[in-house]
Structure formats: structure tokens, C-alpha cells
Amino acid sequence: MLSGKTAVITGASRGIGRAIALKMAQNGANVAIIYLGNDSAANEVRAQAESCGVKAEIYQCDASSFDEVKSTCEKILADFKSVDILVNNAGIVKDNLLLMMREGDFDKVVGVNLKGAFNFAKHLSRSIMKSPAGRIINISSVSGMMGIPGQANYSAAKAGVIGLTKALAREFAGKKVTCNAVAPGYIDTDMTASLSEASREYADTAIPLKRMGTADEVANAVIFLASGLASYITGEVIKVDGGLYM
């Protein structure tokens, strides 16, 4: 489905990003795996991707750093020559109620989740625009659509990702590049493993499908948007949330 294409996936050493990177490789795409700190996890994803018969490389990078992303993108383009697909998945949470939230925790979450998406789109867009089927796919969250108590920073950042998605969809449409967002709900990953028992019980009762989603289910939506099946879809937000937000 994606044979011969090159995909860049941020936050790809674990969770949703890992699932997306491996699903891309399984569908024939070469993958640039961006990660922050876990070398062994990144190398494991690379090895699994390479077992699919594609080219895979890893790049350590702080998505919130404009200059670091610029340097990393230059390395990616030197290694792969071109990029067709960008998946902005890198994200962190630093939850707290507003009255107790520190400025640094707000800035860091917005820096990684929102500015990180801007940084990679900024530095890779010229290459993506040259692709016959360029795709930018941003991972937002239902938190950015409905607001979650204790997540003022995360909700604001993920709402910003949706706004960024729609702006880029309009800017790049003339170059036949589509830009869409995927908004996961409660997904069973390392990030949600730290949820309290009360929060997990709330999720089970609040989600109409009565379970958390899997990283693979989010990855499936990303693969669809990256493929030719979604060539006439742009500026959209696809929720993968079991019906949590309707």
C-alpha cells in the first residue's frame, strides 16, 4: 500500500508511535524513527521494521527544539533523499489542576506536542510537497476537542494541533499534499498505564465500547490517511476513541 514511500514518525520508540512505525513498514514504507531518549527501544523498533524488508533509521531528537529538528531533518533527507509522509506523534503529559500547574509544565507540554509538530512540518514540507502523494498526519487527542480536567496544558496543545492541521491543509492543498489529524481517546499504552484505578474505571464506564483502544487501532487510521484510499480527504480529524466524544 505504501511501497517505495518514506515516512517520518516522531515519538516512535514506544506506544502509538511505535505501532505506527511498524505498521508503515509492514505496508512497505521506509521509516525514519524519531525518539527522545530510549536507545534500546528505538533500536528494537528499527530491527522490527527492517525485518519487513524496508529501510529504517533512528534519530534522537527533541521535537520541541527548532534547531535540533532542523538538523535532524537534514540528516533524514541525506539518508533517504526524500520524504513522502510525516506523522507528528511525539507527545508528553504533565497533568495537574490549573491552580497547581507550574509554568514550566505548561510550556514543556505545548513545546513538544504543538511546537514539535510545527517544527517537523516546517523543515520537511518542501520535500513532502515534491512527493506525488504527500501526507502530513498529526496525532491530536479527544482531550483537545472536549477538554479534560487536569489537562489544561495538554488539551490546549492538542487543540492547537487541530488548528495547525487545518491551516496546513489549506496551505498545501495546491501542491496536492493532504494534512489530517487523528484524535485518540483512552489508548492502552505506557502513558495511560500510570492512570489511577479511579481514572481507569471512569474510562471503562464513559467509553460506549466499554474498553480502551489499542495502539494498533490508532495506527490503522494513520495508515488509511497515508494511503491512496484517503487521497480526497484533507483538513479532517478522525477520532479513534470508542465513542467517548460524540
List the catalytic residues. 154
Burial track 46-68 (b if 16+ CB lie within 10 A, e otherwise): beebeebebebbbbebbbbbeee
Phi, psi for 211 (deg, rounded to 5): -165, 160
Give the whole-angstrom CA distance, residue 237 versus residue 140.
8
Closest CA to 139 of 15, 3, 22, 26: 15
The three cell numbers locating residue 152: 489544561
Q: In terms of Cα–Cα distance, which of 78, 13, 73 is closest to 48?
A: 13
Q: Rounded to whole angstroms, how far apart are CA atoms 113 and 100?
A: 21
Helices 152-172 & 103-110 angle (0-180, nearest 10): 30
